[in-house]
A = this chain, B = another copy of it.
Amino acid sequence: MEAFSDGVFAIAITLLILELKVPPLAGDATLGPRLARQWPSYVAFLTSFATIGIMWMNHHRLFTLIRRVDHGLLVTNGLVLLGATIVPFPTALVAAYLGHPGQNLAATVYSATFLFIALAYNILFRYASSERRRPRLLRGDPTEPDVVAIRAQYRFGPVFYAVAVVLSLKSAVSAIAVNLALALFFALPPRGGAGES
Protein backbone atom coordinates (compact mmCIF):
# COMPACT_ATOMS: atom_id res chain seq x y z
CA MET A 1 0.00 0.00 0.00
CA GLU A 2 2.82 2.40 0.74
CA ALA A 3 4.28 1.93 -2.76
CA PHE A 4 0.91 2.81 -4.30
CA SER A 5 0.52 5.86 -2.04
CA ASP A 6 4.08 6.99 -2.76
CA GLY A 7 3.30 6.69 -6.45
CA VAL A 8 0.19 8.85 -6.15
CA PHE A 9 2.06 11.53 -4.16
CA ALA A 10 4.97 11.50 -6.62
CA ILE A 11 2.66 11.85 -9.62
CA ALA A 12 0.46 14.54 -8.05
CA ILE A 13 3.52 16.62 -7.11
CA THR A 14 5.01 16.26 -10.61
CA LEU A 15 1.77 17.00 -12.48
CA LEU A 16 1.64 20.44 -10.82
CA ILE A 17 4.12 21.76 -13.37
CA LEU A 18 1.70 21.07 -16.22
CA GLU A 19 -0.43 23.96 -14.90
CA LEU A 20 2.42 26.40 -15.60
CA LYS A 21 1.67 27.65 -19.09
CA VAL A 22 4.22 29.02 -21.55
CA PRO A 23 3.11 32.52 -22.66
CA PRO A 24 2.07 32.35 -26.34
CA LEU A 25 4.62 33.67 -28.88
CA ALA A 26 4.01 37.40 -29.35
CA GLY A 27 6.69 38.13 -31.93
CA ASP A 28 8.32 40.85 -29.81
CA ALA A 29 10.72 40.85 -26.88
CA THR A 30 8.09 41.09 -24.14
CA LEU A 31 8.60 37.57 -22.79
CA GLY A 32 10.04 38.96 -19.54
CA PRO A 33 7.03 41.02 -18.46
CA ARG A 34 4.67 38.28 -19.59
CA LEU A 35 6.53 35.69 -17.51
CA ALA A 36 6.54 38.11 -14.56
CA ARG A 37 2.81 38.66 -14.83
CA GLN A 38 2.36 34.91 -14.21
CA TRP A 39 3.58 35.27 -10.61
CA PRO A 40 0.38 33.78 -9.15
CA SER A 41 1.17 30.57 -11.04
CA TYR A 42 4.60 30.37 -9.43
CA VAL A 43 3.28 31.07 -5.94
CA ALA A 44 0.52 28.50 -6.35
CA PHE A 45 2.98 25.95 -7.75
CA LEU A 46 5.46 26.41 -4.90
CA THR A 47 2.78 26.34 -2.21
CA SER A 48 1.24 23.17 -3.59
CA PHE A 49 4.65 21.54 -4.11
CA ALA A 50 5.64 22.27 -0.52
CA THR A 51 2.28 21.11 0.83
CA ILE A 52 2.22 17.82 -1.07
CA GLY A 53 5.88 17.29 -0.11
CA ILE A 54 5.03 17.72 3.57
CA MET A 55 2.00 15.49 3.19
CA TRP A 56 4.20 12.79 1.74
CA MET A 57 6.71 13.16 4.60
CA ASN A 58 3.91 12.85 7.15
CA HIS A 59 2.45 9.88 5.33
CA HIS A 60 5.84 8.23 5.24
CA ARG A 61 6.41 8.89 8.96
CA LEU A 62 2.96 7.57 9.84
CA PHE A 63 3.52 4.38 7.88
CA THR A 64 6.75 3.58 9.70
CA LEU A 65 4.43 3.07 12.69
CA ILE A 66 1.93 0.86 10.91
CA ARG A 67 2.33 -2.84 11.33
CA ARG A 68 -0.60 -4.24 9.46
CA VAL A 69 -3.10 -2.92 6.92
CA ASP A 70 -6.80 -3.76 7.15
CA HIS A 71 -9.70 -2.84 4.89
CA GLY A 72 -10.62 0.29 6.86
CA LEU A 73 -7.07 1.58 6.63
CA LEU A 74 -7.09 1.07 2.85
CA VAL A 75 -10.32 3.09 2.59
CA THR A 76 -9.31 5.93 4.95
CA ASN A 77 -5.91 6.07 3.21
CA GLY A 78 -7.90 6.38 -0.03
CA LEU A 79 -9.44 9.61 1.34
CA VAL A 80 -5.93 11.06 1.86
CA LEU A 81 -4.92 10.05 -1.68
CA LEU A 82 -8.15 11.54 -3.06
CA GLY A 83 -7.11 14.85 -1.49
CA ALA A 84 -3.59 14.61 -2.90
CA THR A 85 -4.75 13.87 -6.47
CA ILE A 86 -7.18 16.81 -6.38
CA VAL A 87 -4.49 19.42 -5.57
CA PRO A 88 -3.49 20.25 -9.18
CA PHE A 89 -7.04 21.51 -9.88
CA PRO A 90 -7.32 24.20 -7.13
CA THR A 91 -3.69 25.07 -7.86
CA ALA A 92 -4.61 25.85 -11.46
CA LEU A 93 -7.67 27.74 -10.23
CA VAL A 94 -5.56 30.00 -7.99
CA ALA A 95 -2.96 30.42 -10.75
CA ALA A 96 -5.67 31.64 -13.13
CA TYR A 97 -7.76 33.79 -10.77
CA LEU A 98 -5.33 35.40 -8.30
CA GLY A 99 -5.49 39.13 -9.02
CA HIS A 100 -8.81 38.81 -10.87
CA PRO A 101 -12.48 38.81 -9.82
CA GLY A 102 -13.20 35.40 -8.33
CA GLN A 103 -9.84 35.18 -6.56
CA ASN A 104 -11.42 34.79 -3.13
CA LEU A 105 -13.47 31.81 -4.21
CA ALA A 106 -10.37 30.31 -5.85
CA ALA A 107 -8.42 30.73 -2.59
CA THR A 108 -11.32 29.22 -0.64
CA VAL A 109 -11.40 26.13 -2.85
CA TYR A 110 -7.61 25.91 -2.54
CA SER A 111 -7.56 26.16 1.27
CA ALA A 112 -10.58 23.89 1.60
CA THR A 113 -8.73 21.18 -0.34
CA PHE A 114 -5.90 21.29 2.20
CA LEU A 115 -8.43 21.34 5.05
CA PHE A 116 -9.99 18.21 3.55
CA ILE A 117 -6.59 16.51 3.41
CA ALA A 118 -5.78 17.48 7.01
CA LEU A 119 -9.13 16.04 8.10
CA ALA A 120 -8.53 12.86 6.08
CA TYR A 121 -5.18 12.40 7.87
CA ASN A 122 -6.97 12.77 11.18
CA ILE A 123 -9.53 10.15 10.25
CA LEU A 124 -6.75 7.82 9.10
CA PHE A 125 -4.71 8.34 12.26
CA ARG A 126 -7.68 8.05 14.62
CA TYR A 127 -8.78 4.89 12.86
CA ALA A 128 -5.35 3.31 13.25
CA SER A 129 -4.78 4.50 16.82
CA SER A 130 -8.22 3.78 18.27
CA GLU A 131 -8.16 1.73 21.49
CA ARG A 132 -9.60 -1.27 19.74
CA ARG A 133 -7.41 -1.36 16.63
CA ARG A 134 -4.13 0.02 17.93
CA PRO A 135 -2.69 -3.28 19.19
CA ARG A 136 -3.31 -4.93 15.82
CA LEU A 137 -2.43 -2.10 13.43
CA LEU A 138 0.25 0.02 15.12
CA ARG A 139 3.75 -0.70 16.16
CA GLY A 140 5.02 0.73 19.43
CA ASP A 141 3.49 2.50 22.37
CA PRO A 142 0.83 5.28 22.43
CA THR A 143 3.10 7.35 24.69
CA GLU A 144 6.08 7.16 22.33
CA PRO A 145 7.40 10.60 21.31
CA ASP A 146 6.76 9.89 17.61
CA VAL A 147 3.12 9.00 18.15
CA VAL A 148 2.61 11.99 20.47
CA ALA A 149 4.27 14.36 17.96
CA ILE A 150 2.19 13.03 15.06
CA ARG A 151 -1.00 13.30 17.09
CA ALA A 152 -0.23 16.92 18.02
CA GLN A 153 0.57 17.87 14.44
CA TYR A 154 -2.57 16.14 13.19
CA ARG A 155 -4.71 17.85 15.80
CA PHE A 156 -3.55 21.35 14.86
CA GLY A 157 -3.38 20.92 11.08
CA PRO A 158 -7.15 21.16 10.47
CA VAL A 159 -7.40 24.23 12.73
CA PHE A 160 -4.71 26.08 10.76
CA TYR A 161 -6.23 25.20 7.40
CA ALA A 162 -9.68 26.21 8.67
CA VAL A 163 -8.15 29.61 9.48
CA ALA A 164 -6.89 29.80 5.88
CA VAL A 165 -10.39 29.01 4.61
CA VAL A 166 -11.90 31.79 6.72
CA LEU A 167 -9.15 34.23 5.69
CA SER A 168 -9.76 33.48 2.00
CA LEU A 169 -13.23 35.04 2.27
CA LYS A 170 -11.55 38.40 3.01
CA SER A 171 -8.20 38.16 1.26
CA ALA A 172 -7.06 35.62 -1.29
CA VAL A 173 -3.41 36.61 -0.98
CA SER A 174 -3.32 36.19 2.82
CA ALA A 175 -4.94 32.78 2.56
CA ILE A 176 -2.32 31.58 0.07
CA ALA A 177 0.41 33.08 2.27
CA VAL A 178 -0.91 31.16 5.27
CA ASN A 179 -0.92 27.94 3.27
CA LEU A 180 2.67 28.50 2.16
CA ALA A 181 3.73 29.43 5.71
CA LEU A 182 2.12 26.25 7.04
CA ALA A 183 4.03 24.10 4.56
CA LEU A 184 7.32 25.80 5.47
CA PHE A 185 6.51 25.52 9.18
CA PHE A 186 5.80 21.80 8.91
CA ALA A 187 9.10 21.45 7.00
CA LEU A 188 11.01 22.55 10.11
CA PRO A 189 12.60 19.68 12.01
CA PRO A 190 10.27 18.19 14.63
CA ARG A 191 11.00 19.64 18.06
CA GLY A 192 12.79 17.52 20.60
CA GLY A 193 13.73 14.66 18.30
CA ALA A 194 16.37 13.80 15.76
CA GLY A 195 13.54 13.01 13.36
CA GLU A 196 15.40 10.09 11.89
CA SER A 197 13.58 7.42 9.99
Interface residues of A (CB under 8 A from B): 1, 3-4, 6-18, 20, 22, 25-32, 35, 49, 53, 56-57, 60, 68-72, 74-75, 78, 81-82, 85-89, 92-93, 96-97, 100-102, 105-106, 109, 136, 187, 189-190, 194-197
Q: Which residues of B contact A102 (CB under 8 A)?
A: 25-26, 29-32
Contact yes or no, A14 B17, CB < 8 A = no
Q: Report yes or no: B13 in contact with A195, Cβ–Cβ below 8 A.
A: no
What is the total number of copies of this protein in its complex?
4
Residue numbers in B under 8 Å from A106 (CB-CB): 31
Cα-based distance from A30 to B49 in the complex (angstroms) = 28
Contact A7 B11 (CB under 8 A): yes
* Residues of B with C-beta under 8 A to A85: 13-14, 16-17, 49
Residue from A49, A74, A88 having most chain B Cβ neighbours under 10 A = A74
Is B15 touching A18 in the complex (CB atoms < 8 A)? Answer: yes
A–B pairs, 21, beta carbons within 8 Å = A3-B3, A6-B7, A7-B7, A8-B14, A11-B14, A22-B93, A22-B96, A25-B96, A25-B100, A26-B101, A31-B101, A31-B106, A32-B102, A49-B82, A49-B85, A53-B81, A57-B74, A69-B197, A70-B195, A70-B196, A78-B187
